[in-house]
Chains A and B, each alone.
Chain A
């Protein structure tokens, strides 16, 4: 078993190399990069001064040639693409993800400053989702085809059908103190006077700020997990060992909880690793609506602005996390199912 997981860990290296190379190439080939943006800026300024002073266009072009080399050098674009990749990779191995073009800060620092926010959201969402879906799925399986089953299905699918950001806008309109009720704060994570509050007021304030965004994060996630739980348990309920448990003298609901549930949780447990990647990715739309500085917003802006170091840094970190998540999943599977040994 140890040998298997060592092998899996070693396989991470070529996988990550492949991911980084592909993303690096694609990203740098997309037009509108930093060099072009800088040129655009200069052209715009030159155009303005040209219109004002009526200088010769000859000068501008020459200036541009020289300037172009400088700009390219500044962003490192004077070398061929593969050389650039190797240089970037070399720095990455030393733990340096480069500097953001936009924020002019080290990428690692930028990402690190966003992680606590996204992690809070991710963990709370995951916790709520599992806390709701597992009991709900079990109840639905036990009361299959009952009014409760149908009603809860309608509710979770309604949640699944509503995009989180649309719900966000709706909730802000309803509860954000505009035309209807003033119940929840609509932006940021804490109030302006946060520092002056006592610790329990701080917690209350934080919870109030989190409530709406968390609702939007989680609303779409209930359907999948609930149905997975229900179907998985229903499948187990028909198995022979449940009948054996009943024949021993266990009441039905105890047979289900003591024997069926553990088996039904196996496919759910394997999902846990996958969630690690999701926890950190965030959602830029919801973050934009509620003005939260999370990973989703950072990633979105870095791609729009062609802020390559940030975008690549995020890709590398999230790929690493989801790959490790897969290994953790396999480990969890072996942990809950004694039949699985690697």
Chain B
């Protein structure tokens, strides 16, 4: 087995709320080997974006990383002093955010914002920076790099903005790219292009990619390994083939059943109920109230993530 680029163990993120602390991410552990794509899947509000932000120590205040360990190439990220974190951000670990329009400063040209990412981590002269940025812009498929370099973010189309954002994330040649719902704000044809681009760049630069999405279609397309999150916990993790062929957790089964298919003329399956409020989580398994297969122990005790087979882990009382 290859040495892990990133190893997260027992991560917990809490937010203060009405004199108590709400644990929004609770005991999340996963590992990402170099050059692999890990898909982190879950509904809105399950804590997947927060998990991603915690890797850069960008959890928005008043939220706090209250527990856990993030090992990045052997270094403990949560113990590093801030200046070292600044050096890491954008150089070793980069992130692509969901909304490419609001992720850009509206009053600065795209070129300037891209250059800044490189200038922060290198000692290139301004003309060299400019050349490198233009090359990177060309590599991500921006049609006229020189023109888009001088444009303001609002002057580009949605797809071009996302390409520019990807260029900005890749300019420092990171070893890990976090893509937080990179295609959610785009229409379907552009989504496919952006995914192809991400996959291409990932192969080219041999980066690890943490892909955060609620879209299982995207995961099936580019991920190597999948982790399914529910209510702040990882409930199932497996290689992508295995997960799609043999989903073990009832929640994963529900998600897969809820994918519309053209070859079946039946009413689309929906998981009954809604995501629980993190302030009022059920005592036992968080999914139990919505689970079609629950039994007594599910409502009383929280199941731990445990291996069903060497590569396939699941947190469900049914499987243990």
Interface of A (DSSP majority class): helix
Contact of B120 among A244, A249, A266 (CB under 8 A): A249
- Chain B residues near A337 (CB-CB < 8 A): 106-107
Within 8 A of A (CB), among B56-76: 56, 58, 60
Structural contact, A240 and B107, CB atoms closer than 8 A: no
- Say if the beta carbon of B25 comes within 8 Å of chain A: no
- Say if the beta carbon of B249 comes within 8 Å of chain A: no
A141-167: CB near B (< 8 Å → 1, else 0) gives 000000000000000000000000000
A241-268: CB near B (< 8 Å → 1, else 0) gives 1011111111100000011001100100
Structural contact, B121 and A249, CB atoms closer than 8 A: yes
A-B contact pairs, 12 of them (CB 8 A): A239-B102, A244-B105, A244-B165, A247-B58, A247-B95, A247-B97, A248-B116, A248-B117, A249-B86, A249-B121, A338-B106, A339-B152
A64 to chain B, nearest CB (A): 70
- Say if the beta carbon of A336 comes within 8 Å of chain B: yes
Contacts known (A246-B89, A249-B89); A241 close to B116, Cβ less than 8 A: no
Q: Which one of A240, A249, A250, A266 has the greatest number of beta carbons of chain B within 10 Å?
A: A249
B99-141: CB near A (< 8 Å → 1, else 0) gives 1001111111000010011001100000000000000000000
Complex Cα–Cα for A36 and B103 (A) = 69
Structural contact, B91 and A243, CB atoms closer than 8 A: no
Complex Cα–Cα for A336 and B58 (A) = 29
- Say if the beta carbon of B154 comes within 8 Å of chain A: yes
- Chain B residues near A339 (CB-CB < 8 A): 106-107, 152, 154
Structural contact, A250 and B58, CB atoms closer than 8 A: no
Structural contact, A249 and B87, CB atoms closer than 8 A: yes
Within 8 A of A (CB), among B145-176: 152, 154, 165, 168, 172
- Chain B residues near A239 (CB-CB < 8 A): 102
Structural contact, B89 and A241, CB atoms closer than 8 A: no
- Chain A residues near B94 (CB-CB < 8 A): 247
Contacts known (A263-B107, A339-B154); A250 close to B86, Cβ less than 8 A: yes
In the complex, the chain A residue whose C-beta lies closest to that of B93 is: A247
Minimum-distance CB pairs A-B, first 6: A240-B102, A249-B90, A249-B89, A248-B90, A241-B105, A248-B117
Contact of A249 among B104, B113, B117 (CB under 8 A): B117
Binding site for B on A (CB under 8 A): 239-241, 243-251, 258-259, 262-263, 266, 336-339
In the complex, the chain A residue whose C-beta lies closest to that of B85 is: A249
Tell me how many residues of B have a C-beta within 8 Å of chain A: 32
- Chain B residues near A248 (CB-CB < 8 A): 89-90, 116-117, 120, 168
Contacts known (A248-B117, A250-B120); A240 close to B91, Cβ less than 8 A: no
- Chain A residues near B60 (CB-CB < 8 A): 243
Structural contact, B106 and A244, CB atoms closer than 8 A: no
- Say if the beta carbon of B82 comes within 8 Å of chain A: yes
Complex Cα–Cα for A246 and B89 (A) = 8
- Chain A residues near B152 (CB-CB < 8 A): 338-339
Complex Cα–Cα for A244 and B87 (A) = 15
Structural contact, B56 and A241, CB atoms closer than 8 A: no
Contact of A336 among B83, B89, B107, B172 (CB under 8 A): B107
In the complex, the chain A residue whose C-beta lies closest to that of B118 is: A248
Structural contact, A241 and B86, CB atoms closer than 8 A: no
- Say if the beta carbon of B88 comes within 8 Å of chain A: yes
Structural contact, A249 and B107, CB atoms closer than 8 A: no
In the complex, the chain B residue whose C-beta lies closest to that of A258 is: B116
Contacts known (A247-B94, A248-B90, A250-B86); A263 close to B106, Cβ less than 8 A: yes
B262 to chain A, nearest CB (A): 36
Complex Cα–Cα for A337 and B60 (A) = 28
Complex Cα–Cα for A259 and B106 (A) = 9
Structural contact, B108 and A259, CB atoms closer than 8 A: yes
B256 to chain A, nearest CB (A): 32
B91 to chain A, nearest CB (A): 6
- Chain A residues near B104 (CB-CB < 8 A): 241, 244
B67 to chain A, nearest CB (A): 23
A39 to chain B, nearest CB (A): 64
Contact of A241 among B58, B102, B121 (CB under 8 A): B102
In the complex, the chain B residue whose C-beta lies closest to that of A236 is: B105
Structural contact, B58 and A246, CB atoms closer than 8 A: yes
Complex Cα–Cα for A239 and B97 (A) = 12
Structural contact, B97 and A243, CB atoms closer than 8 A: yes
Complex Cα–Cα for A339 and B156 (A) = 12
Complex Cα–Cα for A251 and B165 (A) = 20
A66 to chain B, nearest CB (A): 72
B118 to chain A, nearest CB (A): 9
Complex Cα–Cα for A303 and B193 (A) = 72
Contact of B106 among A241, A245, A250 (CB under 8 A): A241
Q: Which one of B82, B88, B97, B121 has the greatest number of beta carbons of chain A within 10 Å?
A: B97
- Chain B residues near A258 (CB-CB < 8 A): 116
